[in-house]
Structure 1
Amino acid sequence: MTAPRPYGVFLRLPLSLLLWGMTSASMFLPASHALVRNNHPASQSFFFSGLLGLVCVTLIGLALGERKPRYGSLGQLSSLMFAFAILPVFLAVPFHDALQTTSFLNAYFDMVSAITTTGADLFDDPARLAPSLHLWRAQVGWMGGLILWVAAAAILAPLSLGGFELTAQGQPGRDMTGLGVSEISDPRRRLLRIFVTLAPIYAGLTMILWVLLLMAGETSLTALCHAMSVMATSGISPVGGVTNAASGVIGEALLFLFMFFALSRLTFSNDTSIKGHRRLDRDPEFRAGLLLVIGLPTLLFLRHWLASLEIGNSEGFFTALRAFWGAMFTVMSFLTTTGFESANWDEARQWSGLGTPGLILLGLAVIGGGVATTAGGVKLLRVYALYMHGRRELARLVHPSSVSSVRQGDSIHNNGAFIAWIFFMLFAMSLTVISLALAAMGVSFDHAIVLSIATLSTTGPLIEVAAQTPIRLVELSGWAKAILCAAMVLGRLETLAIIALFTPDLWRGR
């Protein structure tokens, strides 16, 4: 079957080349923004870098001719590795040239942090970066989120990776059945179809949030960057977070509503639902996320309230309400690995005279958001599978001879808990290795733990709020930054995908 004429040229090019061309074309947006603001050096950096990238992509595309990419879905998985590890080298070129006050390694680190939606802030002072550079950081994070949205349905789901190993019937890393014949023979067609379907939804939701934030009184650039950051769960802000935003509580409420898209894929699509749980109110991820978002702030509120009674604090009802809202917004933000702190979060900690430990935020980031969303972490579906397995084991202690009954429509197959446990152990091993590597580079133990969790869960703002003393990334050695870059890529692709990518048996016969 011949491909539609407008899409034919894209079906012939490798995915890595298409990603390079897409990011090159996107550089004209910050170039135009810098030109309007009369920042001509930055405008020239982005314009000529984007032009050079498009020329290189065109020449390579012409050199490839009619040659078709090999290896199917695993080849596309390797293109994701290219996007998160190699492409930031090109993305850092205009950033480094426009800033001119940092090393290229720092610029590369910042671009890896952005495209993996980690959002680790290497530059403590937002005023150090020009507005166009802030726009570029948020834009790269937004594009990284879009890549994850599309790759989840087009690449990870067919390979039973990224959380889909709990619901699919095939083995992790192997194509699952149920796809059309044309899509099995040509995975690029499936990729293009899903991109055309999901990209307008992703862009439309971002535009809606941007307009709502503008109506709430936010400035244009800050509203756009925050809208991009929430949809991509990158936590990148041109003003140092929502605490310095002009929209106040109304803006936080709008961001809070759009963070629900990171709790479950079913909030906007059922394209990755294998079977069962197509209703949002029956989705285990969404229900587990709601339990944490409502239950944990309630527990913190009660703890603070009891402590306030002991110390004789007589604050009013509205102070308590602001404290509860600050806790709920911050819990939702770190559960979805966005990392924004509420302006009332400090009030929630100080209301009772007790400091809330950063260990709670570390735990939320490790749990993470929903499968096939831009959120990182272990993912809610895996936590749910382990919870159901633990519940079953406790029931067997009471009734050893009982036979479990699988509810009809349950989307997690029999080995789901076993696979989830394997992933959790791989996550723990990765955390251990990265922590030891950072410690070997001279990083203190507590800082190494925070840095490892922040990068593996792609929750960069943890670096500033979880440790007892602030961690200055710019002061780390070059090798420590390289380790953190590898950890961010590992956390974004996940360990099972890396194993599948480097398993020779899975490449044979493709």
Structure 2
Amino acid sequence: MSRRILAFPLLLLLAGIAAMAMFLPALHALVHDEHTVSRSFAYSGLLGLALVGLIGLALGGNPRREASDLNNLLSLCLAFAALPLFLAIPFYEGLRTTTFLNAYFEMVSSLTTTGATLFDTPERLVDSLHLWRGMVGWLGGLLMWIAASAVLAPLNLGGFEVTASAEPGQGDMRLDRFERANTGRRVAQTAFALAPIYAALTGALWLFLVVGGDRPLVAFVHAMSTMATSGISPVGGVQNAGSGIGGEIVIFFFMTFALSRLTFSSDTITTARPGLHNDPEFRLGMLLVLGVPLLLFLRHWVGAYDVEQLEEIPSAFAALWGGVFSVLSFLSTTGFESAYWDAAQGWSGLGTPGMILMGLSLVGGGVATTAGGVKLLRVYALYLNGQREMERLVHPSSVGRASAGSRRMRRQGAFVAWIFFMLFALSLALITVILTALGIKFEPAIILSIATLSTTGPLTQVAGEAPIVLNQIGAWAKLVLCAAMVLGRLETLAIIALFNPALWRD
């Protein structure tokens, strides 16, 4: 029975999981006497399960060829683009004060873990709808965790092309000489290995936040948003939560899981030497988390020390914490803003802190995590290449001192990373040009493009001089942003791999 289920298309399995997930907000709304919302989720879940069952029965009687890795990549792309049409139905029917396009935008933003919302007033949505947004984002993060090992890694995509010996979008010929597990079994094995870890970490964070003083629903949504790096909040951010600085400290430690895959798994090791302290992604991420706030803080702190304003030490530490938390939050593309971020801005004296946050979001987190952006491993490969080129400027005949893996990363890996960086820059320019052609001013267009391509939706509220009201942009601009969020989640190289003739030959 399980073998027949695993033979179904990945998109159909994801639709069935989404239909079953709708019963949780339906039950929550029923308990809180929100009967209209409860019926919309319950009926959508029942109809979805019935439709998935009928399609499964229709496909079950026909012999089907085993899906390839490219087929699963296509299903993953369709899941982020088409599945929100189904996810938006109960949201649209339960809210009844918005258009279906707005509901679709909200679900694309949640599923891709972007977290950009059209509802800047949290009170407009009832708790059950906030719960659904958080659950969709959480499931989208879990999907990326699983897809990284089961879909992207075999194709050398998603950052694995930097350390792999094969070309991006193709399997490793050395491994192809051995019989691999079929794609359905590989997806199932990865899901059974990672889903309990993902759920356990979310549950632990939820418990800590509840103990810290958050309402159970707020703590649950914030826990899911932290693990999925979606930045979704039912109260407008963690700065408005009841757990205070204690909750921020706990969330800070859980956000470090987005810096490196090795923090929770070792199935896709990106370094030859084991251990988290040897992982270049984690070391580079912690360097940014600690270094950027210190640079922002240092000039003012030295000035305060010279004039012996030691009574400002508590506010100084508060400002430093606000900088450290916000830097990690935007580096992991979560987008939570610390309650002390305003103090950090005041101490730094920087007039445009949004530029720093956008730069951190563009760098992004670790490979095979829920974070978006360019990814730390690609930045590290470019750093190695630049370091070697500077050495050759001083000693043109020198020989690099590194292992074969490091040599490959700073040569072929850096070349592929540079190609991805150029594709990312071209995508950013294209999205910006299209948005400006649709009537959006240049600065908001840049912020929207970076926020969607890096899957850091809260940038729209903190990066500019004034928050961007997404509900006021046109319908075509919203569709462009939806396409940009899907492109940012899957990455440009994965989209290009879908044009491989092997996918369409049959």
Scaled to the shorter chain, the TM-score interval is over 0.9
State TM-score, norm by structure 1: 0.95
8 Å contact 2:260–2:367 — kept in the other structure? yes
Shift in CA distance, 306/122, structure 1 to aligned 2, threshold 3 Å: farther
User: Aligned AA for 2:419?
Assistant: I
Contact 1:276 1:411 in 2 (8 A): no
- For residues 301 and 483 of structure 1, the distance between their equivalents in structure 2, rounded to whole angstroms, comes to 38
Q: Per-residue CA shift, 1:267-319, capped at 9, x if unaligned?
A: 01110116513210000000000000001111111133256579997752111
Q: Counterparts in 2 of 1:83-482, with a 5 A limit? A: 83-176=79-172, 177-178=174-175, 181-184=178-181, 186-273=182-269, 276-306=272-302, 316-351=312-347, 354-407=350-403, 410=406, 413=409, 414-482=411-479
Equivalent of 1:19 in 6, 14, 23: 14
Following the alignment from structure 2 to structure 1, what is the Cα–Cα distance between the partners of residues 245 and 148?
33
Give the Cα–Cα distance (whole angstroms) in 2 for the partners of residues 180 and 11 of structure 1.
24
User: Shift of the alpha carbon at 1:410?
Assistant: 3.8
Q: Distance in 2 between matches of 1:167 and 1:146?
A: 24
Deviates more, 1:107-116 or 1:190-199: 190-199
The equivalent residue for 1:77 is: 73
Residues 311/113 of structure 1: CA separation in 2 closer, same or farther (3 Å cut): farther
Greater mean alpha carbon deviation, residues 11-20 or residues 350-359? 350-359
Matched, 1:55 2:55: no
Judged with a 3 Å threshold, the aligned counterparts in structure 2 of structure 1 residues 350 and 134 are, in CA distance, closer, same or farther, namely same
Find the residue that maps to 2:273 and give its secondary structure: coil
Q: How far, CA to CA, are the matches of 2:259 and 2:177 in structure 1?
A: 29
SS at match of 1:151: helix
Which whole-Å CA distance do the structure 1 matches of 2:304 and 2:101 have between them? 48
In structure 1, C-alpha distance between the alignment counterparts of 2:23 and 2:180, rounded to whole Å: 34
Letter in 1 for 2:330: F
- Listed one character per residue, the Cα deviations across residues 224-269 of structure 1 (whole Å, up to 9, x for unaligned) are 0000000000000000001100000110000000011100000011
Task: Return closer, same or farther for 1:138/1:89 CA change in 2, 3 Å cut-off.
Answer: same
Check conservation: 2:364, 2:371, Cα contact below 8 A.
yes
Q: In the alignment, residue 444 of structure 1 is paired with which amino acid?
A: K
* Structure 1: gaps spanning 5 or more residues: none
Q: Secondary structure at the match of 1:415?
A: helix
Question: Gapped runs of 5+ residues in structure 2?
Answer: none
- In 1, Cα distance between the equivalents of 2:418 and 2:185? 34
Count residues in correspondence: 503
Q: CA deviation at 1:215?
A: 1.2
Stretch deviating more after TM superposition (63-72 or 236-245)? 63-72
Question: Contact 2:392–2:398 (CA<8 Å) still a contact in 1?
Answer: yes
Partner SS for 1:430? helix
Render the CA deviation track for 1:129-181: whole Å, top value 9, x for unaligned: 00000000000000000000000000000000000001111111112243795
1:65 is matched with 60
TM-score by length of 2: 0.96
CA gap of 1:397–1:240, structure 2 versus 1, over 3 A, is same
Deviation at 1:406, TM superposition (A): 2.4
- Conserved 8 A contact 2:4-2:60: no
**Cα distance in 2, alignment partners of residues 310 and 454 from structure 1:** 40
- Percent identity of paired positions between Structure 1 and Structure 2: 59
